């Protein structure tokens, strides 16, 4: 019986898509819901108070943060994982760790990374521990583990970046719905305004050279630092 190659390729694409959906799902048990990435402090400082100011804040973080930092590095990590280049993987993992400007942001990245590593190990998806040298750093951060999981699931680079950005946006909106008088319909309006920006962010991230990388988010860093001593809070960052 002849093999339908088109059907086989379509099935592979669908499995990759399902793997991406699994990776970005809020149900993924890595504890992302416990972190706000400085957003809770922005609420406390009255920098973000409603739908309009939330949209502006998220747009700024996307443009000056993810587009210049996590997304382009995610693409580089994905490529290095495909090539088995452990030195490059370690280099970018360390670079990302160095960009975390507060103790809370650093802890968030390491804790989510450790949680994702445990999950991947329980699913028997981590690389063999017999590899010498090991493919991934022992205490790899969240972005590095995300890149590895996406590569293992055969998700394309572009879809990996889009999924990462989507997971970030969805988590930020979940934070806003818990801590602000912001309904789910308003959250959907924010998504509708930022959908095009997400796609544009992927285009920009993939076009940046190594010497153009680095977040420019002094407001977020200040909010995160102030959150460490905030008296009443719901989130760990």
- Domain map of the chain by residue range? 54-219
What is the pLDDT at residue 68?
96
Query: What is the number of other CB atoms lying within 10 angstroms of the CB of residue 188?
Result: 11
Give the Cα separation of 69 and 85 in Å (integer).
Answer: 20
Q: What is the CATH number of domain 54-219?
A: 1.10.4190.10
Mean pLDDT, all residues of the chain? 88
Q: What's the mean pLDDT in 38-63? A: 93
Q: What's the mean pLDDT in 180-205? A: 93
Q: What is the pLDDT of residues 204-233, one digit of tens each?
A: 999 999 999 999 999 998 988 888 877 676
Give the contacts of 104 (CB within 8 A, at least 6 positions apart). Answer: 38, 224, 227, 228, 236, 237
Q: What is the pLDDT of residues 70-92, one digit of tens each?
A: 999 999 999 999 999 999 999 99
What is the pLDDT at residue 115?
92
What is the pLDDT at residue 230?
72
What is the pLDDT at residue 36?
85
What is the pLDDT at residue 7?
52
Of how many residues is the chain composed?
Answer: 237
Q: What's the mean pLDDT in 114-121? A: 90
Q: What is the pLDDT of residues 148-161, one digit of tens each?
A: 999 999 999 999 99
Q: What is the pLDDT of residues 16-29, one digit of tens each?
A: 888 888 888 888 88
């Amino acid at each position: 019986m002849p093999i339908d190659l088109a059907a086989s390729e379509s099935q592979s694409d669908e499995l990759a898509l399902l793997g991406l959906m699994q990776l970005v799902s809020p149900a993924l048990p890595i504890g992302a819901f416990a972190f706000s990435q400085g957003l809770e402090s922005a609420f406390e400082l009255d920098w973000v108070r409603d739908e309009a100011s939330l949209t502006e804040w998220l747009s700024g973080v996307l443009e000056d943060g993810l587009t210049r930092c996590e997304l382009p590095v995610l693409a580089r990590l994905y490529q290095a994982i495909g090539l088995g280049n452990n030195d490059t993987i370690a280099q970018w993992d360390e670079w990302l760790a160095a960009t975390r400007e507060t103790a809370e942001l650093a802890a968030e990245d390491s804790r989510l990374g450790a949680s994702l590593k445990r999950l991947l190990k329980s699913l028997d998806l981590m690389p063999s521990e017999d590899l010498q040298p090991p493919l991934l750093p022992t205490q790899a951060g969240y972005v590095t583990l995300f890149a590895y999981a996406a590569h293992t699931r055969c998700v394309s680079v572009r879809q990996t970046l889009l999924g990462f950005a989507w997971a970030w946006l969805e988590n930020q909106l979940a934070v806003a719905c818990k801590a602000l008088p912001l309904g789910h319909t308003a959250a959907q309006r924010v998504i509708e305004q930022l959908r095009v920006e997400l796609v544009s962010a992927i285009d920009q991230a993939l076009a940046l050279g190594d010497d153009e990388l680095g977040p420019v988010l002094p407001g977020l860093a200040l909010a995160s630092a102030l959150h460490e001593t905030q008296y009443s809070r719901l989130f760990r960052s």
